[in-house]
């Protein structure tokens, strides 16, 4: 497969291999010291039907660094072998960075939380609010300081933080990779207030599909299969909420076939990164999410992102060609630049997504790769019927430029030959400050016009 191919190519570049620095491998590539290391999340024990969705403090490379590559997968903690999605489905994961008081990061606990009864501005669907999902000891309140940056889909002024690493079931076959001198800069202590240090939290959402009545219903989080009436915050579910993250939260269970007996399995998230020490030559990469559910009318309006959506069954066709559901949004990046990497996140049933600039030119098309392995879907990395990878865009740096608050049109397609709940259409963009001079900012304009002219 192409990812395997890529790794082989990389391997041929190795000039020297040394084990150093807290177990990291050091390779010298193009005169540069590149470190690589695999990290593991805490082990969790999953039984058939179980959902885990905790936030946990996890290990991360120490120091002021520029991260070059990232890969991950969920493995059996006892054998180290990859666990197929048909057994343990990875709904999503993300690594979230922020500052905490020195000495306290290991003391922060994770979900579930007592109901905070937060107001919900986003109708029935769920918007990720990582900080609200974590229980902080009073002495360890996170600070953001200069780390604070407005995200495309930030839902309020204090939606802080930065999560450059996030994806779902497709992760196993995607290598996030930035060419030198680009990288995601971490451990920059000037971002934090005195007395604080950088901490990384993993939110990994898994659903144990062994022996369940309806695997697709379970990973589309259909509420009737979870027997829940309130969400993780204790809010009653609206009558018209049929499925999505509000029904498959931490420690819920999906309905099992009668008499299912399977041993609990010890699992953990394995994430492998390579990095270089930060110096002046590094070109920092920023990350953004574009969300197809953003329903704002204009890039200058407040974002209205829901994170997930439902798709009604198509009524006028019977094939995947006839039944395509398209959801599109118009969004702008708070800070533009050169596009370095872009990749889509969709669930099973996804048919891909595209990003267009304001002039209507396609900047990136990213398509799901479906597993072709054995019928039972047991071949890890190639599970039949599951989205096991995504094609991505990594244009030559400098060749694709996105302007600050340019109206980007993002469309997400799904097959609606079946109805679906809780699907996602999220494009992850990695952008670096442009090498050329910053272009003139765009004037305020009517978004209808932009959408129309793009068609």
Ligand X SMILES: *[C@@H]1O[C@H](CO)[C@@H](O)[C@H](O)[C@H]1NC(C)=O
Q: Applying CB under 6 A, which residues contact ligand X?
A: 227, 242, 313, 316-317, 322, 324, 326, 351-354, 365, 411, 413, 419
Distance CA 201, CA 450 (A): 38
When the beta carbons of 61 and 425 are compared against ligand X, the nearer one is 425
Residues 151 and 289: beta-carbon distance below 8 Å = yes
Q: How far is CA 143 from CA 114, 149, 191, 349, in A?
A: 22, 13, 10, 39
Distance CA 205, CA 194 (A): 33
Q: How far is the CB of 391 from ligand X (least distance, A)?
A: 10
Q: How far is the CB of 117 from ligand X (least distance, A)?
A: 20
Q: Determine if the peptide bond prior to 181 is cis (ω within 30°).
A: yes
Residues 277 and 93: beta-carbon distance below 8 Å = no
Q: How far is CA 26 from CA 4, 37, 67, 149, 273, in A?
A: 21, 9, 14, 33, 12
Q: How many CB atoms lie within 10 A of CB 428?
A: 22
When the beta carbons of 138 and 312 are compared against ligand X, the nearer one is 312
Q: How far is the CB of 321 from ligand X (least distance, A)?
A: 8
Residue in 392, 388, 387 with CA at minimum distance from that of residue 349 = 387
Distance CA 98, CA 421 (A): 32
When the beta carbons of 14 and 418 are compared against ligand X, the nearer one is 418
Q: How far is the CB of 419 from ligand X (least distance, A)?
A: 4
Q: How far is the CB of 445 from ligand X (least distance, A)?
A: 24
When the beta carbons of 262 and 324 are compared against ligand X, the nearer one is 324
When the beta carbons of 440 and 455 are compared against ligand X, the nearer one is 455
When the beta carbons of 389 and 397 are compared against ligand X, the nearer one is 389
Q: How far is the CB of 171 from ligand X (least distance, A)?
A: 20
When the beta carbons of 307 and 353 are compared against ligand X, the nearer one is 353
Q: How far is CA 11 from CA 6, 7, 145, 173, 273, in A?
A: 9, 6, 39, 17, 15
Q: How far is the CB of 453 from ligand X (least distance, A)?
A: 16
């Amino acid at each position: 497969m192409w990812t395997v191919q890529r790794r082989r190519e990389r391997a041929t570049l190795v000039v020297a291999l040394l084990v150093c620095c807290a177990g990291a491998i050091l390779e010298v590539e193009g005169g540069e010291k590149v470190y690589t290391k695999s990290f593991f999340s805490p082990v969790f024990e999953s039984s058939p039907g179980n959902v885990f969705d905790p936030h946990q403090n996890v290990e991360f490379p120490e120091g002021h660094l520029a991260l070059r590559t990232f890969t991950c997968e969920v493995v059996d903690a006892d054998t180290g072998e990859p666990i197929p999605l048909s057994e343990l489905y990875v709904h999503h994961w993300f690594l979230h960075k922020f500052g905490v008081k020195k000495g306290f990061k290991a003391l922060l606990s994770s979900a579930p939380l007592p109901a905070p009864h937060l107001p919900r501005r986003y109708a029935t669907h769920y918007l990720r609010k990582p900080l609200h999902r974590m229980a902080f000891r009073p002495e360890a309140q996170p600070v953001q300081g200069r780390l604070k940056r407005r995200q495309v889909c930030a839902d309020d002024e204090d939606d802080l933080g930065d999560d450059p690493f996030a994806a779902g079931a497709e992760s196993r076959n995607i290598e996030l990779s930035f060419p030198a001198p680009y990288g995601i800069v971490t451990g920059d202590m000037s971002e934090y207030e005195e007395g604080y240090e950088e901490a990384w939290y993993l939110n990994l959402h898994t659903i144990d599909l062994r022996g369940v009545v309806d695997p697709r219903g379970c990973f589309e989080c259909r509420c009737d299969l979870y027997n829940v009436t309130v969400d993780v915050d204790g809010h009653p579910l609206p009558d018209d909420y049929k499925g999505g993250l509000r029904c498959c939260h931490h420690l819920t269970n999906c309905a099992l076939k009668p008499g299912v007996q399977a041993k609990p399995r010890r699992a953990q998230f394995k994430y492998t990164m390579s990095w270089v020490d930060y110096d002046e030559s590094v070109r920092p990469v920023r990350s953004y999410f574009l969300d197809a559910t953003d329903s704002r009318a204009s890039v200058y309006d407040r974002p209205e992102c829901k994170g997930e959506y439902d798709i009604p069954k198509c009524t006028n066709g019977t094939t995947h060609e006839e039944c395509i559901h398209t959801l599109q949004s118009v969004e702008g990046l708070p800070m533009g630049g050169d596009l370095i990497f872009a990749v889509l996140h969709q669930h099973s049933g996804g048919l891909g997504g595209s990003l267009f600039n304001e002039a209507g030119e396609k900047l990136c098309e990213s398509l799901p790769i479906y597993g072709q392995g054995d019928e039972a879907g047991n071949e890890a990395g190639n599970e039949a019927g599951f989205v096991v990878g995504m094609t991505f865009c990594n244009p030559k740096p400098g060749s694709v430029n996105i302007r600050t608050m340019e109206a980007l049109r993002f469309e997400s397609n799904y097959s609606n030959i079946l109805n679906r709940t809780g699907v996602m259409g999220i494009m992850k963009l990695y952008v670096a400050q442009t090498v050329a001079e910053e272009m003139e900012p765009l004037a305020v304009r009517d978004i209808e016009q932009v959408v129309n002219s793009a068609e």
